Amino acid sequence: MSIESSDPLPSRIASLVHAHFDALPTRSKPSVFPDGSREWIPMTGIVAVKGIFSISSKRATSEDAFCFCTNIDVFDLIGENTPSESLTCIAVTSGAKCLSASHIPRCKGLVLHDCHAEILAIRAFNYWLLTECHGMLSQEKQVDRDAPGSNNRELPCAPFVKRRKIGECGDDGSKPHTEWPPFELQSDINIYMYCTCAPCGDGSMELCMAAQEDATPWEVPQQKSPSTTNQGDETQVAEMMLDGRAHFSLLGIVRRKPSRTDAESTRSKSCSDKLALRQVSSLLSSETSRLVAPTKNAYLAGLILPKDEISKVACDRSFGENGRMQALAGRSWPETDTEEMKPGYRFRPFRILSIPSEEVASRWRFAKPKVVSCPAGASEKNGGRSPSAANPKKSKPGNASAVWTLAPSYGDSSTMFMETGSKSLPALCRSKTGLYETIINGVKQGNRASAPSPRGASALSRAKLWALYRNIVSASASARNCDGPEIVQAEAERLHIDTVRHVSDIDTYQEFKNPGGLEDPLRIRMQAISDARIVLKGWIPNAGDESWRLDVLVDPKKRKR
């Protein structure tokens, strides 16, 4: 994996993300306390780049540069010499917390398991993509109403997603191998993720080792080794699942999220492991995979990090095509689909891009303080203490997570199916807000994770994302029953209802995530994920929050009235 030096595009992406976070209300940001102590938090942003296909020194640009009303005006941020590609901030998130394993069965789809910034950003991206699909469907129905039965009606051209022509024969006369979903990302869109620090887990182990006073690998009991553990014994495997910062001598395997040594352990996999899996499953979730096809640009194009947060050895091992996932190189799902440009699941490694660390330091005042190594002889002068111990920087991870997403291209975000999380929607750098929430312990601020409720559930929770998907499909299907015959036919073709006809038959979330129908597109995705988890040694599902139904979103207090 090539670790590329600083490039104008990564720096511009980082500036765009920071500008959006800076514009968030104070309640979503870490605190500085009267005694001088403060909170730190990692922050992540997802940015869509339109009109660019590579970021080499000879930049590719688009002649028809895209300009859209919800976009930030990038010229205001980076000057008049801006290339013609367009940058749009899709999601900004922050967070450093996750739930313990014992809490998972009590969530009922209403509590977020993992609130690390990178994972929230991926969930926020999928929420935004669902709203994009809904907005486009709404626009198409409006066109049909305005010109019923017309063959010359102009369908809307959305900036980020487009209609796929399902069932058309290829140039060689061949039919598609499977019925893929109705939408896909526009072909000139590439998705980048920016993070203020390295993802936890395998991709940052060398950084963790370098930060220790003694980086000698810890001795590991023989029975804890993955090679000697009975993989069929889930309890035994779960017990040997490595803590995020433990056992430096074991590298290239799955780790769980780091936590305080006195805290109950989790089964949430590290961000490195989850990002590695996304190189196979794409950025699409269970919900969006039924509406949006896994084209090449549905995968992460690049991960942007501060230069001092990159270990080339760790990134090569964790994410590279010659690292721990090399056994998946050349694989495709479905197996018969080998053409690079066709939709389908493949191992698509993202690029690691750097920006100057001093550039991040000047923009990000909520970074975790760096551990200062103890020079020779310094410990004796300080009574055996290191400089950082003699002059400790009081800091702790913040409890609050911020979530912001861009508004859909069509329609008013206030008319969307789900709540926006705030009565007043902030406009960030002229970007219209689709979702804004502050989350604490996996639920919206002001609610308790110990007593999950529909009111406290984040729009990114399992229950609300599934409900949003069902509402999109149901609304489109109901329109076919009330409009004229021409619209019925157009709507049936447009939604490609065969791929989602099972929605009304699914009872639990477990059935939704593990479909039984062989023709369900999600089956192919699940097979790709299953094969990738085998290669990622030690992946233990964070199970226990699957058996609930969508009636968990019915408020019992309102139901009694």
Task: Specify if 385 maps to a domain.
Answer: no
Q: Is the pLDDT of residue 85 over 90?
A: no
The string of pLDDT tens digits covering residues 310-340 is 999 999 999 999 999 999 999 999 886 556 6
Indicate if the alpha-carbon torsion angle 10, 16, 18, 21 is positive or negative.
negative
Task: Specify if 7 maps to a domain.
Answer: yes
Q: In this predicted structure, what is the pLDDT of residue 62?
A: 32
Lookup: tokens for 358: 């001093």
Task: Specify if 387 maps to a domain.
Answer: no
Task: Specify if 545 maps to a domain.
Answer: yes
Which pairing describes strands 400-406 and 86-94: parallel, antiparallel, or unpaired? antiparallel
Distance CA 381, CA 391 (A): 13
Distance CA 521, CA 124 (A): 22
Element housing 544 (H / E): none
Q: In this predicted structure, what is the pLDDT of residue 507?
A: 86
> How high does pLDDT run on average in the chain?
78
Among 20-34, 336-350, 421-435, the range with the most confident prediction by mean pLDDT is 20-34
Q: Which residue has the higher pLDDT, 561 or 156?
A: 156
Distance CA 200, CA 94 (A): 14
Q: What number of other Cβ atoms are within 10 A of residue 521's Cβ?
A: 21
Q: What number of other Cβ atoms are within 10 A of residue 7's Cβ?
A: 18
Quote the pTM value: 0.84
Task: Specify if 561 maps to a domain.
Answer: no
The arithmetic mean of pLDDT across residues 157-181, rounded, is 66
Q: Is the pLDDT of residue 467 over 80?
A: yes
Among 49-63, 152-166, 455-469, 489-503, the range with the most confident prediction by mean pLDDT is 455-469
Q: Which segment of 165-179, 282-296, 318-332, 450-464 scores lowest on mean pLDDT?
A: 165-179
Q: What are phi and psi of 343, to 5 degrees?
A: -60, 140
The string of pLDDT tens digits covering residues 529-556 is 999 999 998 898 899 999 999 999 998 7
Q: Which segment of 86-90, 293-297, 409-413, 452-456 scores lowest on mean pLDDT?
A: 409-413
Q: Is the pLDDT of residue 520 over 50?
A: yes
Distance CA 154, CA 144 (A): 9
Assign 217 a pLDDT band (cuts: 50, 70, 90). low
Domain span at 304: 3-151+162-369+397-552
Q: In this predicted structure, what is the pLDDT of residue 474?
A: 78
Instruction: Give the E-state strand segments of 398-466 in sequence order.
Output: 400-406, 433-440, 443-444
DSSP for 117-185, please give it: HHHHHHHHHHHHHHHHHHHHHHHHHHHHHHSTT-TT------SSEEE--TT---TTSPPPSS---SEEE
Q: In this predicted structure, what is the pLDDT of residue 152?
A: 58
Q: In this predicted structure, what is the pLDDT of residue 414?
A: 44
Q: Say what angle helices 462-482 and 117-146 make with each other, to 10 degrees.
A: 10
Structural domain count of the chain = 1
Q: Which residue has the higher pLDDT, 262 or 162?
A: 162
Lookup: tokens for 514: 């593990």
The SS3 call for residue 108 is coil
Please state, for a pLDDT cut of 70, what percent of the chain lies above it: 66
Task: Specify if 380 maps to a domain.
Answer: no
Q: Is the pLDDT of residue 130 over 90?
A: yes
Task: Specify if 471 maps to a domain.
Answer: yes
The arithmetic mean of pLDDT across residues 383-388, rounded, is 43
Q: Is the pLDDT of residue 47 over 80?
A: yes
Q: Which segment of 28-32, 34-38, 422-426 scores lowest on mean pLDDT?
A: 422-426
Q: Which segment of 158-172, 400-414, 440-454, 537-551 scores lowest on mean pLDDT?
A: 158-172
Q: In this predicted structure, what is the pLDDT of residue 390?
A: 41
Q: Is the pLDDT of residue 57 over 60?
A: no
Q: What are phi and psi of 237, to 5 degrees?
A: -65, -40
Q: Which segment of 114-128, 260-274, 291-305 scores lowest on mean pLDDT?
A: 260-274
The arithmetic mean of pLDDT across residues 338-365, rounded, is 90
Say which residue the tokens 């095509």 belong to.
321
Q: In this predicted structure, what is the pLDDT of residue 51?
A: 84
Task: Specify if 389 maps to a domain.
Answer: no
